[in-house]
């Protein structure tokens, strides 16, 4: 539907005001650009069907009591954060697996799923199988993401509130990068992208981030104590060196194109390094690639290749979590069940999601 302001401009043109014609053209072009922009970001492949599953999901069936692996209640040890900065409220199987695997490996932690598309207040969650399934886990909390509140009291507040910010071509991934560093600085804990499968408890990896390849860090996994100076420097760098028109400049580029990501820049300054290597420097650790990025993004197709149980064990011997590189792999068909590496990861580390996949 055409906005009312454009209808008013049309009447102005009809009343022979020449300058109004120029304004009208700009209005139409702007309106078309916005529609195109949001159309690009709303990937049709990510539009999962919605299910009313109150009768379909049985917590007793999908989440056995063995979840409490500690044998008794334990004091909370921190938060594990997942963030969805788009308006999507139809989580994928991989999204569900990421949260489930984190919940199972961190039974004494709160697993916080923050979603921008959820209604604020006391509104109930959308009727979708993933919300029903994840709600079975007592340590999972699914909440609306209030970005204005999140960025308040940080250097990123003015950045976020700039009126034309949403027009930038890479706004959603940049917004995601901004959220993760602010969450780590404000609250501390563990941040994970929603395309991770967690194999082991990550809490002993403190003040750490992972090496993606030979000379690049990736922020898909972060683990920091609250108010850590490294995260403070990341926030300052985000604002001072901001360039929202270059993919990956502000954070973790998922393709090996731009070499000047924010975390890499800050870590090099922090340690006075020319190149990135696995090390601990001034209390911050750059973890070896095998720890959270055992499959390089260039080899993402290996996730869909069959491996033996012995090969899988050897590959993941020193691995805490596996990044699935969803930006590259999301359109690839996965046979369920199968001996594909990814299928085996689903089966072992998010069995409730895996059971739903087989059911579907």
Tell me: the pLDDT tens digits for 68-103? 444 444 445 689 999 999 999 999 999 999 999 999
Per-chain mean pLDDT for the chain: 82
- Say if residue 24's pLDDT is above 70: no
- 354: which residues sit within 8 A by CB, 6+ positions away? 97, 336, 346, 347
CB environment 230-259: b (16+ within 10 A), e (fewer): bbbbbbebbeeebebeebbbbbbbbeeeee
Confidence of residue 258 (pLDDT cuts 50, 70, 90): very low
Residues across the chain: 360
Provide the token pair at 257: 């194109």
Residues 292, 199: Cα–Cα separation, whole Å: 10
Q: Which of 31-40, 91-100, 208-217, 234-243 has the lowest mean pLDDT?
A: 31-40
pLDDT, residue 259, reads 31
pLDDT, residue 252, reads 47
Confidence of residue 53 (pLDDT cuts 50, 70, 90): very low
Q: Are 250 and 262 in contact (CB under 8 A)?
A: yes
- By the 10 Å C-beta count (0-12 exposed, 13-18 middle, 19+ buried), 196 is classed as buried
DSSP 301: G
Taking only the tens place, the pLDDT of each residue in 296-344 is: 999 999 999 999 999 999 999 999 999 999 999 999 999 999 999 999 9
Residues 42, 297: Cα–Cα separation, whole Å: 23
For range 97-116, the mean pLDDT: 97
- Say if residue 37's pLDDT is above 70: no
- Its CATH class, for the domain covering 75-289, is alpha beta
Per-domain residue ranges for the chain? 75-289
């Amino acid at each position: 539907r055409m906005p009312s302001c454009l209808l008013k401009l049309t009447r102005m043109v009809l009343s022979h005001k020449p300058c109004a014609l120029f304004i009208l053209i700009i209005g139409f072009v702007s309106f078309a650009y916005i529609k195109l922009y949001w159309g690009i970001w709303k990937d049709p492949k990510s539009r999962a069907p919605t299910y009313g599953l109150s009768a379909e999901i049985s917590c007793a069936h999908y989440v056995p009591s063995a979840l409490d692996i500690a044998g008794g209640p334990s004091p909370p040890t921190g938060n594990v954060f997942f963030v969805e900065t788009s308006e999507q409220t139809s989580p994928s199987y991989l999204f569900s697996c990421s949260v489930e695997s984190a919940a199972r490996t961190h039974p004494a932690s709160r697993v916080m799923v923050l979603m921008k598309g959820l209604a604020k207040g006391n509104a109930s969650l959308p009727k979708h199988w993933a919300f029903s399934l994840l709600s079975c886990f007592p340590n999972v909390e699914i909440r609306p993401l209030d970005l204005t509140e999140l960025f308040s009291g940080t250097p990123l507040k003015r950045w976020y509130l700039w009126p034309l910010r949403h027009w930038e071509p890479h706004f959603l991934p940049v917004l995601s990068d901004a959220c993760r560093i602010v969450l780590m600085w404000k609250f501390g804990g563990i941040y994970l992208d929603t395309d991770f499968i967690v194999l082991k408890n990550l809490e002993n990896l403190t003040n750490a981030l992972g090496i993606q390849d030979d000379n690049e860090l990736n922020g898909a996994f972060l683990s920091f104590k609250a108010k850590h100076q490294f995260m403070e420097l990341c926030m300052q760098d985000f604002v001072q060196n901001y360039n929202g028109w270059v993919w990956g400049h502000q954070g973790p580029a998922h393709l090996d194109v731009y070499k000047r990501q924010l975390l890499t820049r800050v870590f090099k300054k922090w340690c006075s390094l020319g190149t990135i290597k696995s090390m601990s420097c001034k209390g911050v650790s750059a973890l070896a690639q095998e720890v959270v990025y055992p499959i390089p993004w260039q080899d993402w197709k290996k996730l869909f290749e069959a491996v033996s149980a012995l090969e899988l064990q050897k590959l993941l011997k020193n691995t805490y979590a596996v990044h699935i590189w969803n930006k590259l792999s999301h359109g690839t068909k996965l046979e369920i069940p199968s001996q594909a590496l990814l299928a085996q990861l689903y089966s072992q580390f998010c069995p409730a999601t895996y059971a739903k996949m087989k059911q579907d």
